[in-house]
Structure 1
Amino acid sequence: MRLILIFVIMCGFYNETYGEVSLDIDKKLRTLNKPALETIKSEDGDVIDCIDIYKQHAFDHPALRNHKIQMKPSAEFDAKTTTIPNNGSSKPITSQIWSKSGNCPVGTIPVRRVRREDIMRASSPSHFGRKTHHRYSFLDNALQHKANFNLTAKRLREPRSNNRSEAMIVALGFNYLGAQSDINIWNPPGVQAGDYSSAQISLIGGISNSFESIEAGWMVNPSVFGDSRTRLFAYWTKDAYTKTGCINLLCSGFVQTTTKFALGAAIEPVSRARGDQYYMAFSMYLDPNSGNWWLTCGNNVMGYWPGTLFSGLKHSATAVQWGGEVYSPNGIMKKPHTRTPMGSGNWASSLWSRACFHTNLRIKDFSLQVKYPQYLGEYVDEHNCYSTKLHRDTYKAEPRFYFGGPGQNPLCP
């Protein structure tokens, strides 16, 4: 009898808890899936909703309730692709799969619809689409040493996180008003269910434990998107991912203006080893008149992060990062290591047509000149798992930054 009573009580607790979670998921879905003026069913299975640009997710943010949309930047990044010859060539990606099935009308923005099962994979509805806390100790050192900061690998690799592994190159020590790169597009094979793998460019400001950041690139993230496709992503935070920010439009903040691209939608085609190589151009830059940070992807102006979201980033960034990242909830730097690869899954030393790369690296500082960064430092959290290599094909060629690796392997058990 006592066992039956305990069972009944436990069932009641389970049903009550499950009901609360279910209500939270329903609330989250209503917040994320705004009423659509038109719906496009993509051939890859995604559903793209065309929602009123003035009713988009950004305006749910308390700081943006009275925000007036800026439809286009008052200035461009003005970056020019290098004319110095490189061995090999890449093809630009200028559209997404869903656009084959239709277009969103003027006055709307395309938004990938979130499914119930997407949110159910998260630890909680409130953590859906969010990264975990991170830190960059080198930001504090940079503030102390300013432009004379020594970009040594040892100082850059100071401990940051136990569930994230990065392979990056960083420009540090100046005030940056923008940055860009062409990111080689790959689909890393075998990304584990709870992990993600990304290639990205980031602008960062502030101090190590509460830095501000805006980021963009491509990502394979089964826990958020429910598959292993390579997808366009953007991210922001103002407190080192502690409570603010999210991927794409999964929270309020980013103001989208384009009708052409959808954040979170798949990118195709992708590069093949010893085959065709594809890239997408990314740039992020501060509008001097509005204080907004604009994002362009594939030469398409996506929208902006309002300056009112930030403190330090209102004026400039103090670091620019290019490279890749692997996240695993089970932890990094412990055995067994995750099998999730970074980049193409090949080592950076594999170079052209085998390893993932950034090229046409550019920054803009207070000189207002768009230029190749003068001081760069490489860092890798786990040399036996992932790698970096800044490489020139010829003495006349501009460097490419290669990165990536397989994750778990005989040297990274």
Structure 2
Amino acid sequence: MRPSFHPEGLSFDDVSSKSESEITQLWHLNGMCPEETIPIKRTKEEDLLRASSVANYGRNKYPQFDTTDTNKTAFLEVQLNRSALVFVTGDKYYGTKATINAWKPQIQEQVEFSLSQLSILGDNTGRELNSIGASWMVNYNVYGDYNTRLFAFFSKDSNQIIGCYNLLCSPGFVQINREIALGGSLNPISVSAGSQYELHFLIWKGGGGGDWWLQVGNKYLMGYWPASLFVSLSESASPIQWGGEVTNLQKNGEHTSTQMGSDHFPEEWYRRASYFKNLQSVDGSNVLRFPKYSAIFARNSNCYNVTKGNQADFINFFYYGGPGRNPNCP
């Protein structure tokens, strides 16, 4: 399978000279996969033991409970996701592109995670909320370590089954690339006050069949989410979101110290804060365009925040992130 077309205006030449042109994963030290094959991260016994069941491994972002049970509902009130993001809405979108610098945030609890992603969502007025996302994350519950890993994710039924990471369910994402492993560790990553390691992502509706394609960088066509997975994403998307998210498993009323992005607030700027840049969306004519207007959202700006900017070297960019618990975020 190959997409029927790419968006018009696609170019990764606008990124800075400091960007990495190759994606390096730790497994590359042992060679590459042969032709006609793809790399698949090995599922081990301990991976399955971390999941509530074999069927749920790699599927659930959050624990799922019967909300009619008051005791379990009380737990849900302290199991929160924290987001700091930029979004566009109102129009019909057929894809998105962005450049993101990769970091290794510290995680407080094994059941928490920290991710940065670009995502597209379908109509959220009913129970068939669809979403697609990709980028990097730290998630012990899925991977069994605290490495920064490349991921792809989809959800097809709102808050029921939630969805699936990488290649961990079928039907799901169909990979065609033999060079990059979804779920593989990224190396190197950005260094505070030092070198910045960037990743470039494109998600778009790439053909008459309605499949949603994922490309990483200018050479890694990863694969596609089949159109048959979706209802509200069957034709177009709205809104599009870019930003960070963490799980906050509060204990004794304290906010988690799980970090978002680089651990630094956006006001610390380049080489310290996490950023997205070159934000674009695909319109109905299959043309990549910079958004004319976008909004920002931070659930608790004293814990994690986001700030927009626009300058010559960072076209349509924003900084985001934070340390979590601190004197202003108890």
Output the TM-score relative to the length of structure 1.
0.71
Report the CA distance shift for 1:186/1:93 in structure 2 as closer, same or farther (over 3 A): farther
Q: Cα distance, 1:411 vs. partner? A: 0.8
SS in 2 for 1:408: coil
Amino acid at match of 2:11: K
Q: Cα distance, 1:313 vs. partner? A: 0.8
Question: Is 1:80 equivalent to 2:80 in the alignment?
Answer: no
Question: Is 1:343 equivalent to 2:273 in the alignment?
Answer: no
Report the CA distance shift for 1:343/1:209 in structure 2 as closer, same or farther (over 3 A): farther
Amino acid at match of 1:273: S
Are the aligned partners of 2:277 and 2:314 in contact in 1 as well (CA < 8 Å)?
no
Amino acid at match of 2:300: E
- CA distance in 1 between counterparts of 2:48 and 2:63 reads 20
Deviations 1:351-390 (A, max 9, x none): 1000111111110111322111112000011111000011
Which among 218, 222, 247 is matched to residue 136 of structure 2? 218
Q: Cα distance, 1:244 vs. partner? A: 4.8
Calculate percent identity across the aligned residue pairs.
Answer: 38
Question: Is 1:196 equivalent to 2:116 in the alignment?
Answer: no
Deviations 1:55-88 (A, max 9, x none): xxxxxxxxxxxxxxxx2111113422475x97x9
SS in 2 for 1:218: strand
- CA distance in 1 between counterparts of 2:87 and 2:13 reads 20
Q: How many residues align?
A: 313
SS in 1 for 2:215: strand
Deviations 1:261-307 (A, max 9, x none): 11100011000011000011111000232211000113300000000
Are the aligned partners of 2:102 and 2:197 in contact in 1 as well (CA < 8 Å)?
yes
- CA distance in 2 between counterparts of 1:271 and 1:397 reads 17
- CA distance in 2 between counterparts of 1:93 and 1:338 reads 34
Specify the alignment match of 1:96 in structure 2.
25
Are the aligned partners of 2:261 and 2:273 in contact in 1 as well (CA < 8 Å)?
yes
Report the CA distance shift for 1:244/1:347 in structure 2 as closer, same or farther (over 3 A): closer
Query: 195-204 or 89-98, which moves further after superposition?
Result: 89-98
Q: Cα distance, 1:397 vs. partner? A: 5.2
Amino acid at match of 1:112: K
Deviations 1:315-355 (A, max 9, x none): 11011100000013x359x8211110000010011110001
Deviations 1:136-158 (A, max 9, x none): xxxxxxxxxxxxxxxxxxxxxxx
Which among 53, 77, 83 is matched to residue 166 of structure 1? 83
Which among 256, 269, 276 is matched to residue 175 of structure 2? 256
Specify the alignment match of 1:296 in structure 2.
215
- CA distance in 2 between counterparts of 1:133 and 1:283 reads 30
Question: Is 1:184 equivalent to 2:81 in the alignment?
Answer: no
Specify the alignment match of 2:289 in structure 1.
371
Which among 32, 43, 49 is matched to residue 114 of structure 1? 43
Are the aligned partners of 1:197 and 1:343 in contact in 2 as well (CA < 8 Å)?
yes
Amino acid at match of 1:172: T
Are the aligned partners of 1:93 and 1:280 in contact in 2 as well (CA < 8 Å)?
no
Q: Cα distance, 1:98 vs. partner? A: 1.0
Amino acid at match of 1:124: S
Within 5 Å, give how 1:355-366 maps onto structure 2: 355-366=273-284
Specify the alignment match of 1:409 in structure 2.
326
Specify the alignment match of 2:231 in structure 1.
311
Q: Larger Rg: 1 or 2? A: 1
Amino acid at match of 2:226: P
SS in 2 for 1:392: strand
Report the CA distance shift for 1:182/1:353 in structure 2 as closer, same or farther (over 3 A): same
Report the CA distance shift for 1:391/1:244 in structure 2 as closer, same or farther (over 3 A): closer
- CA distance in 2 between counterparts of 1:241 and 1:248 reads 19
- CA distance in 2 between counterparts of 1:374 and 1:162 reads 35
Specify the alignment match of 1:9 in structure 2.
none
Q: Alignment RMSD, CA only? A: 2.3
Specify the alignment match of 1:266 in structure 2.
185
Are the aligned partners of 1:133 and 1:240 in contact in 2 as well (CA < 8 Å)?
no
Specify the alignment match of 2:71 in structure 1.
none
- CA distance in 1 between counterparts of 2:279 and 2:270 reads 16
SS in 2 for 1:110: coil
- CA distance in 1 between counterparts of 2:167 and 2:22 reads 22
Deviations 1:70-111 (A, max 9, x none): x2111113422475x97x943344232212211111221110
Amino acid at match of 1:410: P
- CA distance in 1 between counterparts of 2:140 and 2:283 reads 37
- Runs of 4+ that moved beyond 4 A: none
Are the aligned partners of 2:23 and 2:186 in contact in 1 as well (CA < 8 Å)?
no
Structure with the higher helix share, 1 or 2: 1
Which among 388, 391, 405 is matched to residue 306 of structure 2? 388
Amino acid at match of 1:118: D
